[in-house]
Structure 1
Amino acid sequence: MIVDVSNSNKIVVEKSTVPMKTAEAIEKILTHNSQGIKYQILSNPEFLAEGTAIQDLFIPDRVLIGGRETPDGQKAIQALKDVYAHWVPEDRIITTNLWTAELSKLAANAFLAQRISSINARSSLCEATSADVAQVSHAVGKDTRIGSKFLNASVGFGGSCFQKDILNLVYICECNGLTEVANYWKQVIKVNDNQKNHFVNRIVSSMFNTVSGKKIDVLGFAFKKDTGDTRETPAIDMCKGLLGDKARLSI
């Protein structure tokens, strides 16, 4: 479709979180059908979080632009950099090659998900030892090397990104023969799934080991506060677990 409407050289910017080498695939398709027009493909993944997307756009932690390490590729990178420079400080605009840009987005989401699984693993230990997970999170978060964000997680992570991106990372690792690394990231998802099961079991055990016929209110069904997004929300699996024991749910 881009080729059909192009009558001059074009810069094509890939914004979505995609499997690695997607920019390369786009480049091959456009070049093969170029009809004499030159295309430069840039990877510019967005780091907008649901609930704070506008703020993240106006005051981003960083802007990442990946492109080819050729003269034309560098010119394309500079062209997009000039657009962002109207409102983003130059030291926050990072330029890389295509592979780095695509992998950085997956890596960022994987690290955030890892923090949630990490604190949830500790919450189970806190319950077993009478420690207070909120106080543990507070104490740990005071370390400037760690920080406090993503250490007050609920019943695991949800949403359309984290699990998809971790599995994408797992796939890349396995394709490159990095089995141990793939298993490490798989464990992040496993801990997340275990946390949901653990929470359902806690509810059932607190209600004399059965919720059959009992009405339970489910508050905060979305995967994250300040959103209406229920994609992959942990609440879905929890509700299925409670319905399996014939609970009456009010969401």
Structure 2
Amino acid sequence: MIRVAGHFGELLQGRLGPQGPVVLITLPCAALGVTATLTPATALTLTGESAAILPLARAKALLQTLNLPLTGSVTLTAEMPPGGGAGVSTASLVALARLAGWQGDPRDLARACVATEGASDPLMLDQPAQLLWASRRAEILDTLPPPPAMEVIGGFYGAPERTDPTDDNFPDVTDLLPLWRKACEAQDLAAAARIATTSATRCLAHRKAQTDPTASLAADLGALGHVIAHTGAARGLIFAPGQLPPEARARLEQAGMTGVVQFRAGGGR
């Protein structure tokens, strides 16, 4: 059995300049992941709900790109919804590759994921939250200090939205990157949370989102800031570790969020 942890939206996402690449800084989430198991069979098949997580044609394309033979019945189990913005697609591909015995350079695996589905989260790489990642190119554009330690509670709001790799309709975040680096160097969670909030707010405005309760929930609960999946339904509130209000889970559920999850990130995690 192989389990690959997902993420929970992005701390920062947008374009480097009006015509630049789409980039992101992911928010890793060890509490959510995709598990892959293999049972003997004469051909490669995906069982049950697995095909809804990863189409068989896409699975075969990845294995062919990596030159990995695999036969058997693969069962994929996701702890988060497809289209939720929590990394189901990438985690599934990485889990499949590892199930087939992949032990090569994770950057090659990242390139294979992008070749297979057009975009990828950096879940196959070490310390993904420290990478400025070009998600349509499988390129590390910069290595950053770790984000400050934080506690996040969030859920999924609205309809699922799968990533469209041809979609580059994102705001420019070039100005936020030096601020993010400075906040991380200082391990200043309040500043980092404000920057993540700015990125989320810009994205929702850019995409003309009609309703979203995340900002008002953050204000009402005294969160330092909030994050969203810039494509997908994940929405999260950022708190200092140990400062999560006891009523937070109930408030998120009352606002219509499903699959509420609480986790810690940053601080070198």
TM-score (norm 2): 0.22
Identify which of structures 1 and 2 has the higher relative contact order when contacts are C-alpha pairs closer than 8 Å and 6+ apart: 2
Counting strand residues as a fraction of each chain, which structure ranks higher? 2
TM-score (norm 1): 0.23
Counting helix residues as a fraction of each chain, which structure ranks higher? 1
